[in-house]
């Protein structure tokens, strides 16, 4: 039996190890009300071809993780005929079920099988935090995919199930609420990045409630700061500034200059919508001053890594000046952001490159702008709706302001991208 090279390739594309895929499938199974029994060995059996047709529940979970039919992952029933298999779960129905499953998981977990409630400890919290690290890394690579939103929501349900299932100290309970809030905030950000704004607002209200119960002002900062970004992307600067002000007034922003720096930079990006160049410059000045006061060796949550090296601060400055039409300043910040952002932050680097092309086009540097935009790999151009929208806007501006030969070159490259294997039709 030959191995499943298709699944192996999909895992490599998504940056998933055997352990990470097992955890992602188990998270989906638990969110759907089942026991998560997939192990490294299970995944190895899939890869070697020892298991050609996983159990129906595992097939449905694989479809949710990879967002495609299981037959596109190299699996086939024995004999090559699927007529005898049970009818597959409708993916839309399953996604809705997973999205609403946290309450169901909590309810089923609340009644222990043998009466005695197990003890929940710091080890359980550490395991959840390890899964949170995977979610953050996946977001950096792939952006706002629905599968990331679904996995994060399922893991929030897992954290709340532990609350209901066992006894724990007050400190551990607070940490579990913080884990649930962290996962829900990642689901919120994935929805923002994917332009699923209604879902993002639902995640926001849930995340804010969980974070308040955790007492962790760092995760509260992340959630309210994300809310400011949500309203910025919805073109509601008044609500965005108000939400970001909540983040900036939290104790962690007063205590740690790096949090303060991020708060000021996100404020500047929102202010870009108002056209107030003076306020943008002032907010970015505060961001730089706070960044220079921050201790680079102090421990911060892993989601702050893009801020620690100033790459995200420069990215937000690029966004602010681009909205103001200050293209030369926007380009300068774009170059600095690309120099600072870690290579693993693929989504951010792609988005910055697309915005950099816009800034260059705004200055009339058509050849340079087209070259920058065309440097984005075909698969990266469709990472998230934000990237695709930025490139579509670039194309519209190019058609209005540039000679025809550059328009033809750009449109020809876009056509080739969409027709390439894996491209979006």
CATH number at residue 67: 1.10.260
Domain end, chosen from 169, 189, 215, is at 215
Question: Does 140 lie in the same domain as 210?
Answer: yes
Question: Does 124 lie in the same domain as 58?
Answer: no
Domain end, chosen from 189, 215, 241, is at 215
Question: Does 125 lie in the same domain as 54?
Answer: no
232: in domain: no
Question: Does 180 lie in the same domain as 125?
Answer: yes
Local confidence pLDDT in tens for the 425 residues of the chain: 468 989 988 887 666 678 778 877 887 776 666 777 888 899 999 999 899 999 888 998 888 777 788 899 999 887 654 433 434 444 444 443 343 333 333 333 334 444 556 778 888 888 888 888 888 888 888 787 888 898 899 889 888 888 777 777 888 889 999 999 999 999 999 999 999 999 999 999 999 999 999 999 999 999 999 999 999 999 999 999 999 999 999 999 999 999 999 999 999 999 999 999 999 999 999 999 999 999 988 989 888 987 888 999 999 999 999 999 999 999 999 999 999 998 888 899 999 999 999 999 999 999 999 999 999 988 887 778 889 899 999 999 999 988 788 988 888 877 655 544 444 33
DSSP string, 283-297: HHHHHHHHHHHS-TT
How far apart (Å, rounded) are the C-alpha atoms in residues 318 and 330? Answer: 5
CB neighbourhood size of 247 (10 A): 25
Question: Does 208 lie in the same domain as 128?
Answer: yes
Q: What is the pLDDT of residue 417?
A: 54
Cα-Cα end-to-end distance for the chain = 34
Q: What is the pLDDT of residue 79?
A: 63
346: in domain: no
Question: Does 135 lie in the same domain as 40?
Answer: no
321: in domain: no
397: in domain: no
152: in domain: yes
For the record, the structure tokens of 244 come out as 């970001």
Of residues 252, 176, 190, the one with CA closest to residue 220: 252
For the record, the structure tokens of 390 come out as 């930025």
Q: What is the pLDDT of residue 117?
A: 65
Question: Does 136 lie in the same domain as 38?
Answer: no
Q: What is the pLDDT of residue 80?
A: 53
How far apart (Å, rounded) are the C-alpha atoms in residues 292 and 83? Answer: 65
Q: Which residues contact 265 (CB under 8 A, 6 or more apart)?
A: 283, 284, 287, 312, 313, 316, 317
4: in domain: yes
Domain end, chosen from 160, 191, 215, is at 215
Q: What is the pLDDT of residue 202?
A: 95
406: in domain: no
Question: Does 210 lie in the same domain as 125?
Answer: yes
Domain around 1: 1-72
CA angle (333 as vertex; 327, 339 as ends), nearest 5:
140
Residue identified by tokens 């007492």 is 215
Question: Does 107 lie in the same domain as 44?
Answer: no
How far apart (Å, rounded) are the C-alpha atoms in residues 225 and 262? Answer: 9
User: CA quadruple 339, 344, 345, 349: dihedral positive or negative?
Assistant: positive
18: in domain: yes
- 119 backbone dihedrals φ, ψ, rounded to 5°: -85, 130
Question: Does 135 lie in the same domain as 64?
Answer: no
How far apart (Å, rounded) are the C-alpha atoms in residues 113 and 337? Answer: 53
Count of domains in the chain? 2
């Amino acid at each position: 039996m030959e191995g499943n090279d298709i699944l192996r390739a999909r895992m490599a594309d998504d940056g998933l190890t055997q352990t990470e895929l097992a955890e992602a499938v188990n998270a989906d199974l638990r969110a759907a009300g089942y026991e998560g029994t997939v192990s490294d060995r299970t995944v190895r059996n899939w890869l070697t071809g020892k298991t050609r047709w996983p159990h129906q529940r595992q097939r449905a979970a694989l479809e949710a993780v990879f967002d495609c039919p299981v037959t596109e992952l190299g699996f086939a029933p024995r004999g090559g005929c699927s007529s005898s298999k049970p009818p597959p779960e409708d993916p839309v129905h399953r996604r809705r079920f997973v999205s609403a499953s946290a309450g169901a998981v909590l309810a089923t977990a609340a009644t222990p099988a043998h009466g005695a409630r197990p003890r929940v400890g710091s080890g359980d919290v550490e395991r959840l935090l390890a899964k949170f690290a995977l979610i953050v890394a996946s977001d950096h690579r792939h952006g706002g995919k629905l599968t990331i939103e679904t996995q994060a929501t399922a893991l929030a349900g897992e954290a709340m199930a532990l609350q209901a299932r066992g006894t724990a100290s007050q400190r551990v309970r607070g940490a579990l609420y913080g884990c649930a809030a962290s996962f829900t905030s990642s689901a919120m950000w994935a929805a923002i990045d994917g332009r699923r704004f209604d879902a993002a607002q639902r995640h926001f209200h849930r995340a804010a409630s969980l974070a308040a119960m955790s007492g962790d002002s760092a995760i509260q900062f992340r959630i309210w700061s994300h809310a400011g970004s949500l309203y910025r992307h919805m073109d509601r600067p008044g609500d965005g500034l108000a939400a970001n002000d909540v983040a900036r007034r939290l104790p962690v922003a007063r205590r740690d200059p790096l949090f303060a720096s991020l708060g000021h930079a996100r404020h500047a990006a929102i202010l870009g919508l108002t056209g107030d160049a003076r306020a943008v410059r002032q907010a970015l000045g505060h961001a730089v001053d706070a960044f220079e006061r921050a201790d680079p060796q102090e421990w911060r949550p892993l989601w702050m890594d893009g801020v620690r090296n100033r790459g995200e601060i420069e990215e937000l400055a690029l966004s602010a000046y681009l909205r103001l039409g200050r293209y030369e300043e926007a380009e300068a910040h774009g170059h600095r952001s690309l120099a600072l952002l870690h290579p693993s932050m693929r989504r951010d680097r792609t988005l910055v490159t697309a915005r950099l092309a816009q800034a260059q086009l705004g200055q009339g540097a058509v050849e340079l702008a087209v070259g920058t935009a065309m440097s984005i790999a075909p698969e990266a151009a469709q990472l998230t709706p934000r990237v695709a929208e930025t490139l579509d806007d670039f194309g519209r501006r190019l058609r209005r302001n540039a000679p025809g030969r550059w328009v033809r070159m750009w449109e020809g490259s876009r056509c080739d991208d969409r027709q390439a294997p894996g491209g979006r039709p």
